[in-house]
Amino acid sequence: MINKRWLLLLLVFAAPGQWGMGQTAEHSDALFNTIKSLDSKLFEAYNHCNLEVLGSMVSDDLEFYHDQTGLSVGKAPFVAAIKQNICGKVQRTLIEDTLEVYPLNGYGAVEIGIHRFHHPKEPDNIGDAKFVTIWRNTNGVWTVTRVISFEHNMGRLTK
pLDDT-wise least confident of 46-50, 54-58, 117-121, 145-149: 117-121
- The domain of 89 spans 23-150
Comparing 25 with 128, which gets the higher pLDDT? 128
In a domain, 6, yes or no: no
Average pLDDT over every residue of 78-90: 94
Using DSSP bridges, classify how beta strands 141-150 and 58-66 pair: parallel, antiparallel or unpaired.
parallel
In a domain, 31, yes or no: yes
Confidence class of residue 9 from pLDDT cuts 50, 70 and 90?
very low
In a domain, 18, yes or no: no
In a domain, 126, yes or no: yes
With a CB cutoff of 8 Å and minimum separation 6, the contacts of 9 are: none
The domain total for the chain is 1
Instruction: Please report the pLDDT score of residue 15 as a whole number.
Output: 36
In a domain, 1, yes or no: no
- For residue 37, is pLDDT > 90? yes
In a domain, 155, yes or no: no
Mean pLDDT score across all residues of the chain: 84
- For residue 145, is pLDDT > 70? yes
CATH number at 34 reads 3.10.450.50
Average pLDDT over every residue of 132-146: 98
In a domain, 146, yes or no: yes
Confidence class of residue 57 from pLDDT cuts 50, 70 and 90?
very high
- For residue 119, is pLDDT > 70? yes
In a domain, 3, yes or no: no
Comparing 74 with 154, which gets the higher pLDDT? 74
With a CB cutoff of 8 Å and minimum separation 6, the contacts of 117 are: 90, 91, 92, 126, 127, 128, 129, 152, 154
